[in-house]
Amino acid sequence: MIKGTTKLLGVIGHPVEHSLSPAMHNAAISHLGVDFVYLPFPIKPGDLKAALAGFAAIGVRGFSITIPHKQAILPLLSEVSPIARSIGAVNTVYLTDKGWCGTNTDVEGFLAPLQTPPTPPDQGGARGGSDWSQKVAVILGNGGAARAVVAGCAQLGCAEIHVVGRSEQNLAEFQQSWVNSPMPVQNLQVHTWENLSMLISQADLLVNTTPVGMYPQGEKSPVADGALNRISAGAIVYDLIYNPNPTQFLKDAQLRGARAIDGLEMLVQQGAAALKIWLHKESVPVDVMRQALRQHLGLS
């Protein structure tokens, strides 16, 4: 129930109407019985600075950030975590004595299903395994989400990290940005899509960070049928897309014996990591958050 004492959290973006975050966070807030509410705030690009001042004035405790503010907010913050600086994007902002501080919980979200013991496919199909030092990661796409995935693969300690993209110039800039990063990644190689089938045969972890196959184009896959024949049985194939669930890419991979992880768990876990920061709690009800998202997406 909203009362005179209720503290505000929310998500800023433009557009923000389709955000799944309010459903996920309010389900957890209600389950915990804490005096918070999480609201969508549609903020136009030119209004970001004014919104931050307004949020401070009305006592907002923290907020999530989605397109188009993830990079633009960086110079407006008092502190930015090294991980957010490396990725070049902030997805979570919280208030401290110093002012607004930013971090990025996407890496934590991406890693969570790779680090936990196996769970049923209807809960994200998470996979365990702790020694990544001999493993080869292949990442499709070189946009914003790919940056969190590269940072995650570096944290896992992957032997080789390969990024596949469309533009040689973007790829070269992407690679260079990791050399000069606060958290440098040395073992990163970049490739155009022509090299994909050779890379797939070496991959222990294959991650789609492109939007290809996302609703309403759920019949598409970033990897042409046939190229996936080279994936080794037992490799992990991870799609950041959570709608449809599973994607065509994951269905094709599973048919070839690969182990599939969908993007829903990353979404849940990046949200859980943010909620822990805002509520100063060591744990939040991840199951409740996952269930709220599944219901919202019509998956259960």
The full DSSP string for 183-220 is: S---SEEEEEGGGHHHHHHH-SEEEE-S-TT-TT-TT-
Q: Does 170 participate in binding ligand NAP (rule CB under 6 A)? A: yes
Q: Does 217 participate in binding ligand NAP (rule CB under 6 A)? A: no
**Per-residue tokens: 209:** 């960070």
Q: Does 106 participate in binding ligand NAP (rule CB under 6 A)? A: yes
**Per-residue tokens: 299:** 């998956």
The answer to whether residue 3 is catalytic is: no
Select the span of 22-30, 45-53, 79-87, 165-173 touching ligand NAP (CB under 6 A). Answer: 165-173
Q: Does 165 participate in binding ligand NAP (rule CB under 6 A)? A: yes
Select the span of 4-12, 41-49, 209-217, 252-260 touching ligand NAP (CB under 6 A). Answer: 209-217
Q: What's the gap between Cα 281 and its chain centre?
A: 21
Q: Which is nearer to ligand NAP, 204 or 239 (CB)?
A: 239
Q: Does 16 participate in binding ligand NAP (rule CB under 6 A)? A: no
Beta-bridge partner residues of 207 = 139, 238
Taking CB positions, which residue lies at the least distance from ligand NAP?
143
Q: Which of 242, 247, 258, 293 binds ligand NAP (CB under 6 A)?
A: 242
CA distance 93 to 283: 18
Which residue is catalytic, options 49, 70, 220, 276? 70
CA distance 28 to 254: 32
Element (H, E) at 21: helix 21-32
Q: What does DSSP assign to residue 145?
A: H
Nearest to 277 by CA among 54, 103, 97: 103
Q: Does 138 participate in binding ligand NAP (rule CB under 6 A)? A: no
Select the span of 117-125, 225-233, 234-242, 285-293 touching ligand NAP (CB under 6 A). Answer: 234-242
Provide the binding-site residues for ligand NAP, judged by CB under 6 A: 106, 109, 141-146, 165-167, 170, 209-212, 214, 240-242, 263, 266-267, 270
Active site residues: 70
